[in-house]
Chain A
Amino acid sequence: MSAVSQTRLLGGLSLLVILLCSISLLIGPAGFSIADSLTALFSGTGDAISLVMQEIRLPRALLAIMVGISLGLSGAALQGYLRNPLAEPGLIGVSSSAALGAVITLQTGIAAQMMIILPFFGLLGAAIAVVLLLLLAGPRGGSLTLILAGIAISALAGALTSLVLNLSPNPFATSEIVFWMLGSLADRSFAHIWIALPFMALGWVLILSTARGLDALILGEDAAASLGINLGVLRWVLVAGVAACTGAATSVVGAIGFVGLVVPHILRPFVGARPSRLLPASALGGAALVLAADIAARLILPDRDLKLGVVMAIIGAPIFLHLIYRTRRAEL
C-alpha cells in the first residue's frame, strides 16, 4: 500500500478531469469538428455552434464537475467521520428528501411554470431534512443516532415519494417523475449552475474544514476529543456541508448514486488511507467519474437519452463488487 505523493496524485487527477471535460465538450449529436467547437466555445458571435457550445455543452460539463466534487467530498467526509467505508452521501437522508421536494413539483405540475421551481423545492426538501436530523439526533447526538435518524428520514422521504407517484394525475406525470429520479445532466443551463453553486461551494468549504478532525477520529471519539477536537462542532459542520452538497446536487440533477461510495474507496490506498488527504482526491475523482459516466451515457445510446444515474449504477456496482472482493482477500 504505497502512498503516492499528494501533489502528484492531485495533479494526475486534475489532468484526468481536464481531459474528460474536453471530451465532454467535444461530443454531441451536432457533430462539430474539434476546431470549430473550440473557437465557438470562446467566441461571442451568437451563431448556432457557439450557442450549442456555450449554452448546452459547457453547463453540462461544468455541472458534471460540480456534482462530482460535491458527491466525492461528501462520501469521503462521511466515511471518515463514521469510520466506515460503506457510508455514502445518501445516508443522512438529505438526498431522498431533496428528491421528494423536486418530485412534488413534477406531480403538481408547478415545475412547468418556471425552471427555478423544481430545484428550489429540492433545496427546501434538503433543508427540512437537516432540521429533522437536528431534532432527531440532537445537538450532542453520537454518530449512531445520526445514522439512525438519517435512515428514518430516508425511509419517510422514500415512502412519501412513492405516495406522490401513487397519486400522480396521469401516466405522463408518472413517467416524468420516474425519469427525473433516474438522474441526468441533459438540458441543464447556467441557471442550474447559479442555483447550485453557492450551496455546493459552501458545502465544499465546510467539508474541507473538517480535515484535521477526521484525521484525529482515526483514534476514536475519546482520543480525538482529548486532542482538542470539538466533536459536537465537527459533527454539525460535516452534516451541514454534506447536506448543502447533496441537497444542491440532487436538486439540479436528480439522484446519482455510487459516486460518494466508490470514489473514496478507490482512492483510499493512494493517500495512505488518511481521511484529510482523501478529501481533495475524492473531490477530483468524483468529478472525473461523473464526467466519464455522462460521456458514456451519451456515447453508448445517443438516441435513447440514457440517464446518468443508470449508467453510474451500472459502472459503480461492478467496481464496488470488485472492491469487496479485494477487501475480502486482504482480510485473509
Chain B
Amino acid sequence: MKSPSTHPCLSLSDLSVYRGDCPVVDRVSTTIHAGELVGLIGPNGAGKTTLMRGALGLLPHLGHSSLTALRAGPRAKAVAWLPQNREIAWPVSVETLVMLGRVPHLTAGQTPQPHDRMAVARALAAMDLTGFEIRPATALSGGEQARVLMARALAQDCPLIMADEPVAGLDPRHQIATLSYLRDLTRQGKAALVSLHDLGLAARFCDRLILLDHGQKKADGKPETALTEAHLREVFGITAHITTSDQGLIFQALEVVT
C-alpha cells in the first residue's frame, strides 16, 4: 500500500512542552512519512493540540521538531495548519478566505496568479463548496465554515497537513468525505496528521494512530494495535466492540469502565 522508502514530512524527537513545571507533552518521538494519514487520539487534556502546536513552533518546546528547524517562510510551504478554534474575523467572501492559503506562495505585493486560483478552485471542489465562492464566510453554518477553513488549508498545497479536530461538528456525510479526501491526498504522496475524537472514524480511515495519555505516547501503530482493550480501558476508561471487516476496522464504543 505505502512504500517504506518515502521521505519523512515531520520528525519529532523527545518533543516536550511545559506549562510551568508540568509537562503537557512529555518526550514524544515519532516520524510521519509521505503517504501516511496519521490519527492523533487521546482523551481531553491528553496534549493532542499542544503536541501539534509545539511541533509547529507555535509554543516554546524542548527537543527537536523538523518543522521548527525551518524558517517561517519555508515552514509555511512545508505544513498547512488547521487550528481547532474556527476563527473567521470579518465577513469576507469564501473565495477570499480560501485564497489566504496561497499567502505563503506569493511574494511581497504579488497578486494571485492563475495557478493560485486553480488551487483555490480545487480546494473548494474537494470540500463540496463549489458555488459558495462569493458568499460571506461568516454567514455560513458552523459545519460549512469548518469546511471553508479546511479548504483554506488544502489550498495551501503543502506536503503535510496538520488539522486539529477537522471533522468535529460536521454532518456524517462531510465527516466521511473530508477524511476520505485526506486519505486520497496521502495516496498521492502527501501526509496528514489529524487529531480525532471519533475513534470509529480514526479506526476506519487512518493508516496509523498515535495514542496520547497525559502527554505521553502510549501507542503508535496500526489502528488495531493502538485500539486494544487494555488501552481503551486505561486511557479512555471505556469498553468497545471492535471487529474487522472488508471496510477496515469497525469500532463502536460501548460503556464507561467504573
Q: How far is the CA of A55 from the CA of B108 in the complex (A)?
A: 41
Q: How far is the CA of A294 from the CA of B101 in the complex (A)?
A: 43
Across the interface, do A218 and B88 meet the contact criterion of CB distance under 8 Å?
yes
Indicate which residue in B58, B87, B89, B91 contacts A226 across the interface (CB closer than 8 Å). Answer: B58
Indicate which residue in B85, B103, B136, B149 contacts A1 across the interface (CB closer than 8 Å). Answer: B136
Across the interface, do A222 and B104 meet the contact criterion of CB distance under 8 Å?
no
User: Which stretch of B29-37, B76-84, B187-195 is in the interface?
Assistant: B76-84
Across the interface, do B81 and A226 meet the contact criterion of CB distance under 8 Å?
yes
Across the interface, do B75 and A228 meet the contact criterion of CB distance under 8 Å?
yes
Interface string of B91-125 (1 = CB under 8 A from A): 11100110011011000100000000000000000
Contact A228 B72, CB 8 Å, known A218-B88, A219-B152, A273-B92: yes
Indicate which residue in A215, A226, A274 contacts B76 across the interface (CB closer than 8 Å). Answer: A226
Size category, B interface: 20 to 34
Across the interface, do B73 and A222 meet the contact criterion of CB distance under 8 Å?
no
| A82 vs chain B, min Cβ distance (A) | 9
B217 within 8 A of A: no
Across the interface, do B96 and A272 meet the contact criterion of CB distance under 8 Å?
yes
Across the interface, do B83 and A222 meet the contact criterion of CB distance under 8 Å?
yes
Contact A222 B76, CB 8 Å, known A215-B103, A272-B92, A274-B96: no
| A248 vs chain B, min Cβ distance (A) | 26
Interface string of A177-195 (1 = CB under 8 A from B): 0000000000000000000
| A101 vs chain B, min Cβ distance (A) | 34
Across the interface, do A222 and B53 meet the contact criterion of CB distance under 8 Å?
yes
Question: Which residue from chain A places its CB closest to the CB of B67 in the assembled complex?
Answer: A226
**Residues on B with beta carbons closer than 8 Å to the beta carbon of A220:** 83, 85, 87, 89
Interface string of A214-230 (1 = CB under 8 A from B): 01111110110111111
**Residues on B with beta carbons closer than 8 Å to the beta carbon of A227:** 76, 100-101, 103-104, 156
Across the interface, do B149 and A218 meet the contact criterion of CB distance under 8 Å?
no
Instruction: Count residues of A near B (Cβ-Cβ below 8 Å).
Output: 23
Contact A3 B149, CB 8 Å, known A215-B100, A228-B73: no
Q: How far is the CA of A139 from the CA of B84 in the complex (A)?
A: 26
List CB contacts (< 8 Å) of A228-262 with chain B. 228-230
**Residues on A with beta carbons closer than 8 Å to the beta carbon of B79:** 226
Q: How far is the CA of A272 from the CA of B88 in the complex (A)?
A: 14
Across the interface, do A274 and B90 meet the contact criterion of CB distance under 8 Å?
yes
**Residues on A with beta carbons closer than 8 Å to the beta carbon of B89:** 83, 217-220
**Residues on A with beta carbons closer than 8 Å to the beta carbon of B206:** none
Q: How far is the CA of A214 from the CA of B110 in the complex (A)?
A: 16
Contact A273 B136, CB 8 Å, known A216-B103, A218-B92, A218-B100: yes
| B103 vs chain A, min Cβ distance (A) | 5
A275 within 8 A of B: yes
Question: Which residue from chain A places its CB closest to the CB of B110 in the assembled complex?
Answer: A212
B56 within 8 A of A: yes
| B88 vs chain A, min Cβ distance (A) | 6
**Residues on B with beta carbons closer than 8 Å to the beta carbon of A307:** none
A60 within 8 A of B: no
Indicate which residue in B77, B88, B93, B104 contacts A219 across the interface (CB closer than 8 Å). Answer: B88
Q: How far is the CA of A220 from the CA of B77 in the complex (A)?
A: 19
Contact A226 B92, CB 8 Å, known A212-B103, A215-B100, A219-B87: no
List CB contacts (< 8 Å) of B138-182 with chain A. 149, 152, 156
Q: How far is the CA of A226 from the CA of B55 in the complex (A)?
A: 11
**Residues on B with beta carbons closer than 8 Å to the beta carbon of A274:** 90, 92, 96
Q: How far is the CA of A216 from the CA of B99 in the complex (A)?
A: 10
Q: How far is the CA of A215 from the CA of B93 in the complex (A)?
A: 12
Name the residue in A212, A227, A230 with the highest tally of chain B Cβ atoms < 10 Å from its Cβ: A227
Contact A223 B90, CB 8 Å, known A228-B76, A272-B96: no
A268 within 8 A of B: yes
Q: Could you write out 11 A-B pairs with CB less than 8 Å apart?
A: A83-B89, A218-B88, A218-B92, A219-B87, A219-B100, A219-B152, A223-B152, A226-B75, A227-B76, A228-B77, A228-B103
The chain B residues found within 8 Å of chain A, CB to CB, are 53, 56, 58, 72-73, 75-77, 79-83, 85, 87-93, 96-97, 100-101, 103-104, 108, 136, 149, 152, 156
Complex A-B, nearest 8 residue pairs according to Cβ-Cβ distance, in ascending order: A228-B76, A220-B87, A226-B81, A83-B89, A273-B90, A222-B83, A218-B89, A228-B72
